[in-house]
Amino acid sequence: MRLIAENLGGERGGDMVFSGIDFALEDGQSLVVTGPNGAGKSTLLRVIAGLLPVAEGSVRIEGGGEAFPSIASACHYLGHQNAMKPALSVAENLHFWRDFNGDGDVGVEEALETVGLGGIGHLPFGYLSTGQRRRAAIAKLLVSHRPLWLLDEPTAGLDKASEARFAGLMGKHRGEGGIVVAATHLPLGLDGAKELRMGE
């Protein structure tokens, strides 16, 4: 599978935020997007996911086959919000996303163990701390399979141990042929990642 952006431009509220972005990612490769606040990192991720229209150029996926015909169907998008309901328990939240997104080969309990939240699946999501919420949202990436991960500041609020654990998860995902695109200010521990500097 290949993710290809050609001369990609995105706008927000009628103003061009970035333009002329080119990259091509193969199976197992990753891209780290860096740049100052307001450089358009989040906008770039939302344009790639298809949540915002492409202002110029193109971004597409090749070789996804019948299972993943478009980027939207092939990607996990982890934005600033965690997309979990505070009134439901962590396990209920994850069960919902697993059923809704489909392609689940990892169980909810197993995913929670993997992110270090084993045994707290019964707690309401609203009771968790910021870092725990982020880890629960990361568990959401695991419960259903998607080859492309679009991550917006994925490690915001995580402690050192969780950062390292998440780096391991991304490494495993890439090892299985997955692609990771991450916007970040912090080093993510992605070995051999391509780097895209925005706003310079």
Compute the distance between CA of residue 68 and CA of residue 196 in angstroms, rounded to an integer.
25
Among 16, 24, 83, 164, binds another protein (CB under 8 A): 83
Determine if 54 is a binding residue for another protein (CB under 8 A): no
Confirm if 195 and 34 have CB atoms less than 8 A apart. Answer: yes
Alpha helices in 78-159 (DSSP H): 90-101, 108-114, 130-143
Among 34, 40, 77, 128, binds another protein (CB under 8 A): 77
Nearer to another protein, 142 or 193 (CB): 142
Q: Rounded to the nearest whole angstrom, what is the least distance from the CB of residue 177 to another protein in the complex? A: 20
Determine if 73 is a binding residue for another protein (CB under 8 A): yes
Record the tokens describing residue 55, joined without a space: 């202002």
| Three-state SS at 25 | strand
Binding region for another protein (CB under 8 A) out of 23-31, 91-99, 177-185, 192-200: 91-99
Compute the distance between CA of residue 195 and CA of residue 199 in angstroms, rounded to an integer.
13
Binding region for another protein (CB under 8 A) out of 17-25, 49-57, 105-113, 163-171: 49-57
Determine if 129 is a binding residue for another protein (CB under 8 A): no
Confirm if 188 and 116 have CB atoms less than 8 A apart. Answer: no
Nearer to another protein, 6 or 92 (CB): 92
Record the tokens describing residue 181, joined without a space: 């695109």
Compute the distance between CA of residue 16 and CA of residue 137 in angstroms, rounded to an integer.
31
Nearer to another protein, 82 or 184 (CB): 82
